[in-house]
Amino acid sequence: MEIIVRKRHIDGIPVSIYETDTPDEKPVIFSFHGFSGYKDGDYFKREDALARLGFIVIGLDTILHGERRIDIYNQLSESDKMKDINTMIIQSAEDAVMLYEKYIKYMPRVKKDALYAIGVSMGGAISIYMSTIYNLKKAVSIVGSPSMVEFYKWKKEKNGWADDTYYQRNLDYLKAFDPVLNAENIKCPLFLTGGLRDETIPYQFVEMLKKDNVTIKLYDTPHMPNQAQFDDAYQFLTEEGN
Amino acid sequence: MKQDWKWSLVNITEHLYDGIPLTIYNNDDQKKKPLIYFFHGFTGNKDANIMGRGEVLANMGFYVVAIDAYLHGKRMSDLEKIRSNVDKYEDIIEIVMHTAKDAKRLYHKYFKYEPNVLDDHYYLYGVSMGSLTAFYLSTIDPYVKAMAGLVCTPSFVDYYKDKASMYGFNQGFFYERKLDYYKAHDPLNHIDQLKKVKIFMGVGTKDQVVKPIYAETLKEMVPEVILNHYDTGHVSTTDMLNDSYQFLEGVKNSGNHR
């Protein structure tokens, strides 16, 4: 089965669309990359795999990432960039909803009311947050944190950030968006993975989201996930029910 | 990421909030004051296009925040730098909407907590595309008290159609979807929100870039807005500037903030 990849620049957002060269209607899945990554850089080729499973896969560069990088931001240290990670998460989910509502749902071969999301690390967090603002069918996070507030506090300690106004204002602002604190807004089944040896996003953050329709599975891995996590995610996305 | 210098009595500092480059002009008099955003025009940037207005507004008692529009100034990626301006113009409404949402978030996330910024209302000042940002922001945030738009347009749909005709935008699926989306968000379709904001509009009678007809349409719909015509093209004249300052001063001194 041949995979067609279309790359476009939609509303200033670089987008890659993957699908099989078949005329049937397909569900759409957004695939979100991790912090400092870009839309076509997945080591596990998940966009290709998801397209073969029958999805139209939409990859987009998160703001300040990939082809949306800007010089003034590139000059910051990784630690300083990390201070804005939740802003990027929220913006990317909003970008995805806007692109879907404005264009994608009207595109040919797009199955009605069948939108999914998947992402790795920061991309997983985007996927989880998106499930709080849009009626997805299912969402997957591979080694991502559903927590914004507690995760941000932990990042402060780990990176030695100052307890300054910028930090405090972000912390306060995130309370209204944090999927753990606003879990009632999640209306679809979620599948979350965590790595037992993950020191970048410790699995304890993954476990903070306790809800009937949330399935959590931990693996003996560091922050780099293994193929089993993707295989389990693909099974979750394609099986009926949940 | 902070750079300071003095210009007369005004402190001018550069910042990066949420990855958004900002320049703040503040008369360091320790008084609590209203914030005013400065929105520049298409292909411009927050510093080159403010042309002295930051210092004037700061000396009038405003906390002035000039912001690089989305995909403009220091927010321009390498990809954007090689796009043609006509190609970029096709996304002008998206640039406007994104920038307005940024400004709204920055006020509620950071600025209203600044000790010398009033936390219950703010002002907007926009030139050309920046005026459209101000009109749209006025429809999505009830905290906006007043706005001044120079060589301005409050229209999404009709303005975009005019530009599409002028520059030969690509027609078809994306064009049609954009127009449909713009209809739902066009400030001229949200008159009830605009009626709550005090509005000054200055237009050039010879302006072919942003034609006066869009501002005139708003004036017909909301007679209480101020619309002044000037014998000029797509340029902010001294009279236009002075009238806009006088308007802002009047609103600011009128009290009854919200």
pTM for the structure as a whole: 0.95
Residues of chain B in contact with residue A10, where contact means CB-CB under 8 angstroms, are: 174
Contact B21/B68 with Cβ under 8 angstroms?
A: yes
Substitution target from B74, B98, B102, B156 for chain A, most A beta carbons within 10 A: B98
Tell me the domain boundaries of chain B. Answer: 3-252
Residues of chain A in contact with residue B24, where contact means CB-CB under 8 angstroms, are: none
Q: Do B174 and A10 touch (CB under 8 A)?
A: yes
| Total domains in the fold of chain A | 1
Distance from CA of B241 to the nearest CA of A (A): 32
Predicted local confidence at residue B30, as pLDDT: 84
Q: pLDDT: is A42 or A58 the higher one?
A: A58
- Average pLDDT estimate for A104-123: 97
Distance from CA of A43 to the nearest CA of B (A): 24
For chain A, positions 160-199, list CB contacts with chain B under 8 A: 165-166, 169-170, 173
- Average pLDDT estimate for A85-98: 98
Residues of chain A in contact with residue B72, where contact means CB-CB under 8 angstroms, are: none
- Average pLDDT estimate for A97-118: 97
The CATH code of domain B3-252 reads: 3.40.50.1820
Per-residue pLDDT tens digits for A18-33: 999 999 999 999 999 9
Rg, chain A, Cα only: 17
Distance from CA of B147 to the nearest CA of A (A): 26
The pLDDT of residue A42 is above 90: no
Predicted local confidence at residue B256, as pLDDT: 57
Per-residue pLDDT tens digits for A192-204: 999 999 999 999 9
User: 3-state SS of chain B: helix, strand, coil percent to 5?
Assistant: 40, 25, 35
Per-residue pLDDT tens digits for A168-181: 999 999 999 999 99
DSSP secondary-structure letter at B88? H
Residue ranges, chain B, pLDDT below 70: 1-8, 256-258
Q: Which CB contacts under 8 angstroms, 24+ apart, belong to B49-55? A: B49/B127, B50/B23, B51/B236, B53/B125, B53/B241, B54/B10, B54/B12, B54/B23, B54/B25, B55/B7, B55/B8, B55/B10, B55/B12, B55/B25
Q: Do B109 and A170 touch (CB under 8 A)?
A: yes
Predicted local confidence at residue B28, as pLDDT: 82
Q: Do B16 and A9 touch (CB under 8 A)?
A: no
Q: Do A103 and B78 touch (CB under 8 A)?
A: no
Distance from CA of B238 to the nearest CA of A (A): 34
Q: A64 — contact with chain B (CB < 8 Å)?
A: yes
Residues of chain A in contact with residue B98, where contact means CB-CB under 8 angstroms, are: 12
Q: What is the extent of the structural domain holding A34?
A: 3-238
Per-residue pLDDT tens digits for B7-25: 458 999 999 999 999 999 9
Predicted local confidence at residue B200, as pLDDT: 98
CA nearest B92 in A: which residue? A11
Domain CATH for A106 = 3.40.50.1820
Q: Which of A86, A63, A47 is nearest to A205 (CA)?
A: A86
Q: Do B181 and A102 touch (CB under 8 A)?
A: yes
- Facing A103 at nearest CB: one of B80, B83, B177: B177
Q: A154 — contact with chain B (CB < 8 Å)?
A: no
Predicted local confidence at residue A44, as pLDDT: 74
Q: Do B70 and A14 touch (CB under 8 A)?
A: no
Distance from CA of B77 to the nearest CA of A (A): 5
Q: Do A87 and B18 touch (CB under 8 A)?
A: yes
For B148, residues 6+ apart whose C-beta sits below 8 A from its C-beta are B123, B124, B125, B126, B134, B199, B200, B201, B202, B244, B247, B248
State how far the alpha carbon of B208 is from the alpha carbons of A82, A123, B92, B152, B182, in Å. 45, 45, 17, 12, 22
Sheet holding B3-7, edge to edge: B3-7, B10-17, B20-27, B63-67, B33-39, B117-127, B144-150, B198-204, B226-230
Q: Do A68 and B77 touch (CB under 8 A)?
A: yes
- Facing B16 at nearest CB: one of A63, A72, A102: A72
Q: Do A170 and B75 touch (CB under 8 A)?
A: no
Distance between CA B44 and CA B75 in Å, rounded? 11
Distance from CA of A69 to the nearest CA of B (A): 6
Q: Which residues of B make CB contacts under 8 Å with A?
A: 1, 16-19, 21, 70-71, 74-80, 83, 91, 94-95, 98, 109-110, 113, 173-174, 177-178, 181
Residue pointed to by tokens 């509620």:
B108
Can you name the residues that pair with B5 across neighbouring β-strands?
B12
Note whether ipTM > 0.90 here. Answer: yes
Confidence of residue A240 (pLDDT cuts 50, 70, 90): confident
Average pLDDT, chain A: 96
Predicted local confidence at residue B170, as pLDDT: 81
Predicted local confidence at residue A241, as pLDDT: 63
